[in-house]
Structure 1
Amino acid sequence: MTAVTVPAMRPASAHTSWHRIVTTARVHAANPWTIIYSPWLILLAVFGLNYAIWQAILIAADGKPLPDAAFTQNGGVSWVFVYMLVVAVQAMNQTFSFVVGLGATRRDYFVGSAATFAALSAMYGGGIALLALVERATDGWGVNGAFFAPWGLSEIPVWELAVIYTLALLFMFFAGSAVAAVFVRWGSTGLVMFFVVLALLIVAVVFALTTTESWTAIGTFFTTNSLLAVSLYSVPVTLACALVGWALMRRATPKG
């Protein structure tokens, strides 16, 4: 009797998992206009409007001196951060059922989404910091303006600015993913309840800080620490948002 040797099966889970993670990232990037092109175009359009306003003010001043900070206090660049929170909510809500329906596990989907968010955060954080570098090199676009590094951010090294922006974007992305996970898990009713609970928590925190007279301590924290140090404190909060999003996503049911 001839013995038949059956070759040992190689575990394909690692390769399959990696493939599914990449597939998830590709699905998120399937429409680059939403996550890449449009944000840059709108950001540059907002900058163009600010620059036009600066020029109009200079023309109206007719050579009269203006305060040094006349064109440095604006929040135009903050539009990107709010937009990315919305992108995270929409992306996970629109792609979860589709990608899981293709055979991806919830873990692979979440890892692929997290990798996409990290890559986008690095791209936008580094890109805006580079524009801030150009802003410095051109003396504030020739008018002593600060759009890409406003409110004193122009005084810090560019690499710190890139880290600060990247960490802020990571927080917005994962906060958005946590909100999206609530919707995917419990639908619109769960989302409404989430915002009700969130509002109550905010009121409770404000009340506690006020009654304990802790606002001075908070102000001292922000004034005695560098912006980079303060931004690093957001990392645990970002990780908490990611864990909440994953905990909810792993129990969510794909909807057809």
Structure 2
Amino acid sequence: MNRTMSVLRMHAKNKMMWVYVPIFILCINFAVNLLISLLLIDPPPMYTGGIIQLYVYMFVMGIIIIPQSFPLALGLSVSRKNYFLGTTSIIILVSTAFAFLWCITAQIEQQSDYWGGNLHFFTIPYLNDGTVFEQFCIYFILMMNFYYVGLVISSVHRRYGNIGLLVLFICCTLLLGIGGFAFYYYQWWITLIRWLNDISAFHISLWMIPFGLCCAMLSYLLLRKSTV
């Protein structure tokens, strides 16, 4: 437990990466979109999707966290298990904080009549249809999944190098290509659209939990066999 907390504190010291940079990116993007919406006369609803940058940032963090901290942690005699638990702890804390912040800003946006310029920056149709608790769960689960997908990519590179990463991308490309062709040829996309119309974003996020857990387990197994 002490070693796990040491890894957590090691990550927490880098506030620039975990806190300041993503907040700065969001603030700049929000300010630009707010200025545009206020300058327009009788603007239509503006759905910028700028908040998606937060998920992209979490994905990138999953990719770069291992090269930046894994060799250092092992050099300090931290086990791979404790490193993984400590790294998981920091992303849980960060995802919880950002999901909570997103819920607050979404409520402020709605109460302020969308910032007076019909700007929908923190509220996204379909994602914000449920209760505040359901919205929090959606944001949290999505961030965790994006992070662990990035962590799997980084773990594959740490374990098998560039060749392993190339094989991973080739396999993913083939699977996506075959899957896309099957959805089009057998018209499964019609069934998918009907299913999405009958289910909420909250329930879809619950279906994503097993995927996130599988990514987490795979990244842990890869790190156990990885060298410094």
Once the two structures are superposed, residues 176-224 of structure 1 have per-residue CA deviations (whole angstroms, 9 ceiling, x without a partner) of 1111101111122222221121111111111222222211111112110
Map 1:120-199 to 2 at 5 A.
120-199=94-173
The equivalent of 2:7 in structure 1 is 24
Give 1:204's aligned amino acid: I
1:152 is displaced (CA, Å) by 4.5
- Equivalent pairs, count: 228
Distance in 2 (alpha carbons) for counterparts of 1:219 and 1:231: 16
Matches within 5 A, 1:1-256: 18-58=1-41, 65-67=42-44, 70-71=45-46, 73-254=47-228
Structure 1 unaligned residues grouped into runs of 5+: 1-17, 59-64
Indicate conservation of the 8 Å contact 2:130/2:202, yes or no: no
Deviations 1:52-93 (Å, cap 9, x if unpaired)?
Answer: 1101222xxxxxx554xx22x221100010011101111122
Q: Could you tell me how far apart the structure 2 residues matched to 1:52 and 1:111 are? A: 42
Runs of 5+ consecutive residues of structure 2 not aligned to the other structure:
none
Q: What is the letter of the counterpart of residue 161 of structure 1? A: Q
Tell me if structure 1 keeps the 8 A contact 2:63–2:154. Answer: yes
Q: Distance in 2 between matches of 1:85 and 1:30?
A: 20
| CA–CA distance in structure 1, aligned partners of residues 28 and 139 of structure 2 | 20
RMSD: 1.4
Tell me the distance in 2 between the aligned counterparts of 1:51 and 1:79.
16
Amino acid at match of 2:174: L
Q: CA deviation at 1:157?
A: 2.4
Give the match's secondary structure for 1:125.
helix
Give the deviation of 1:154 after TM superposition. 4.3
Deviation at 1:158, TM superposition (A): 2.2
Using the size of structure 1 for normalisation, the TM-score is: 0.85
Identity %: 28
Given that 1:132 and 1:158 are in contact with CA atoms closer than 8 Å, whether structure 2 keeps it comes out as: no
Give the Cα–Cα distance (whole angstroms) in 2 for the partners of residues 26 and 191 of structure 1: 30
- Structure 2: distance between partners of 1:230 and 1:96: 33
Offset, 1:156: 3.1
Structure 1 consecutive aligned stretches of length 4 or more whose deviation exceeds 6 Å: none
TM-score (norm 2): 0.95
C-alpha distance 152-228 of structure 1, shift in aligned 2 (>3 A)? closer
Instruction: Please give the alpha-carbon distance, in whole angstroms, between the structure 2 residues aligned to 1:139 and 1:156.
Output: 19
> SS state of the match for residue 117, structure 2?
helix
Q: Which has the larger radius of gyration?
A: 1
Q: Deviations over 1:121-146 (max 9, x none)?
A: 11111111111111111111122321
Structure 2 counterpart of 1:222, which letter?
L
Report the residue type matching 1:20 in the other structure. Answer: R
- 1:100 positional shift: 1.3
